[in-house]
Structures are given as structure tokens and as C-alpha cells.
């Protein structure tokens, strides 16, 4: 029997995947610790976040994939578009934004992002 990558996993084995390590593997990603969202618009545009590519599994995969993935993706796009349309953002300082994250099951910023928001539209439209 041919075993992929030389591993034999017996039936009934409980397999735990270290997604944190997978998402930061330099053999998979160029500069994995650098914040480069544009990489998914160019070199890695074929990577699917819906659990079909094992390089990136933000919503899990297989039978345990998040059931709200479609809603989450669309709601996030709508919220971000509404926010960017409604406000102008400025940083308080000229320092680079620290994108260091914390360790855990959710990806939180280690330092808060402090920005100044200025409404683009008339105040009665924000009520």
C-alpha cells in the first residue's frame, strides 16, 4: 500500500492539525510573519479560504468546517465597505502600525490600533 508522504495513519486515529504552524510555514508562504494581505491578490490568489486548500484554513476544514462561513465572509465585506465609505481614518502618529498578534484561538492584536475617525457624510445619516 502506498502511503502519502511516508506516513501511515491507522483507521480510528484522532488527528489534531496545528493550523497555527501551518499558516506560518516558510516552506508554504513567502515571509509568513509579515503582514502582506496583497499576497492573496497576486501570487496566492488561487488559495481558497473555504477549506479546500490546506495551506490556509481560517474557517477549519472537512466535517468540522464553520457552518457560518458564507455569512461571515459576506457580512465582513459589507461591514468593512460600510465603514470605509462612511469614515476617513487617520493615525495619531507617523509610526508604522504594529501588527504583532497574540497567541490563542482568535487572532487579536497585541497593541490596540488607535486611529482618528472623521465622518464623510452628514451626521443625520449615521443615526
Residues 8 and 57 in one domain: yes
Residues 1 and 61 in one domain: yes
Q: What's the domain count of the chain?
A: 2
The pTM score is: 0.59
DSSP count for the chain of H helices, then E strands? 2, 2
Can you tell me the distance from the alpha carbon of 115 to that of 107, in angstroms, rounded to the nearest whole number? Answer: 20
Binding residues for heme: 66
What was the pLDDT predicted at 78?
Answer: 95
Strands 115-119 and 87-91: antiparallel
User: Is residue 60, in this structure, part of any structural domain at all?
Assistant: yes
Contacts of 90 (CB under 8 A, 6+ apart): 115, 116, 118
Contacts of 108 (CB under 8 A, 6+ apart): 101, 102
User: Is residue 75, in this structure, part of any structural domain at all?
Assistant: no
Cα 103 from chain centre: 14
* Strand ranges, E, within 8-124: 87-91, 115-119
Name the percent of the chain in helix, strand, coil, to the closest 5.
30, 10, 60
Per the structure, the complete domain to which residue 39 belongs is given by 1-67
Residue 4 vs residue 115, higher pLDDT: 115
Binding residues: 66
Residues 31 and 2 in one domain: yes
Cell numbers placing 127: 443615526
User: Is residue 107, in this structure, part of any structural domain at all?
Assistant: yes
User: Is residue 73, in this structure, part of any structural domain at all?
Assistant: no
pLDDT, tens only, 57-85: 888 877 788 899 889 989 999 999 999 99
Q: How confident is the model at residue 122 (pLDDT cuts 50, 70, 90)?
A: confident
User: Is residue 18, in this structure, part of any structural domain at all?
Assistant: yes
Residues 60 and 20 in one domain: yes
Placement of cell 508604522 in the chain: 96
Amino acid at each position: 500500500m502506498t502511503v502519502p508522504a511516508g506516513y501511515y495513519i491507522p483507521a480510528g486515529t484522532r488527528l489534531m492539525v496545528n493550523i497555527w504552524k501551518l499558516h506560518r510555514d516558510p516552506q508554504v508562504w513567502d515571509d509568513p510573519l509579515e503582514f502582506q494581505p496583497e499576497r492573496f491578490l497576486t501570487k496566492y490568489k488561487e488559495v481558497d479560504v473555504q477549506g479546500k486548500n490546506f495551506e490556509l484554513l481560517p474557517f477549519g476544514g472537512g466535517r468540522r468546517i464553520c457552518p457560518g462561513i458564507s455569512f461571515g465572509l459576506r457580512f465582513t465585506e459589507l461591514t468593512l465597505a460600510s465603514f470605509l465609505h462612511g469614515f476617513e481614518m487617520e493615525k495619531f502618529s507617523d509610526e508604522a502600525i504594529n501588527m504583532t498578534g497574540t497567541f490563542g484561538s482568535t487572532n487579536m492584536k497585541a497593541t490596540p490600533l488607535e486611529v482618528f475617525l472623521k465622518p464623510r457624510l452628514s451626521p443625520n445619516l449615521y443615526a
